[in-house]
Amino acid sequence: HAVTIIGTRQLRELVLATREALMRELLRVHPAWHALSPDQLCHRLASFADLPEPQVFKALRYDRLADARSLTEAIRTLDLLRKLL
C-alpha cells in the first residue's frame, strides 16, 4: 500500500477549505449567527457543540497553526462543528 504524506502546506489548505465549508453551512442553517462578531461566533459554536471555547477559537480563527497535529485537530474540530449544525 502506498502511503500519502500530506505536508503542512496542504494541511493549511485543508483547514481553510474546511472553515469555508463550515461557514457556508452556518449561513444556510443559522443565518443570524453570521452577524455575530468573530469572538461571539466562537462562543456560540463552542456552547452549541459543547466543546471548549479555546479549541473552537483555534480551529476557527487562529491562523498560526504550525504543526501537522494542530492542523489536523483544527480540521477535525471544524468538520465536527459542521456536522453538528
The 10s digit of each residue's pLDDT in 39-79 is: 999 999 999 999 999 999 999 987 776 788 888 999 999 99
**Global confidence as pTM:** 0.87
Whole-number average pLDDT of the chain: 90
State yes or no: pLDDT of 2 exceeds 60. no
Band of pLDDT at residue 29, cut at 50, 70 and 90:
very high
pLDDT at residue 8 in the model: 79
State yes or no: pLDDT of 1 exceeds 60. no
Q: Which residues contact 33 (CB under 8 A, 6 or more apart)?
A: 26, 41, 44
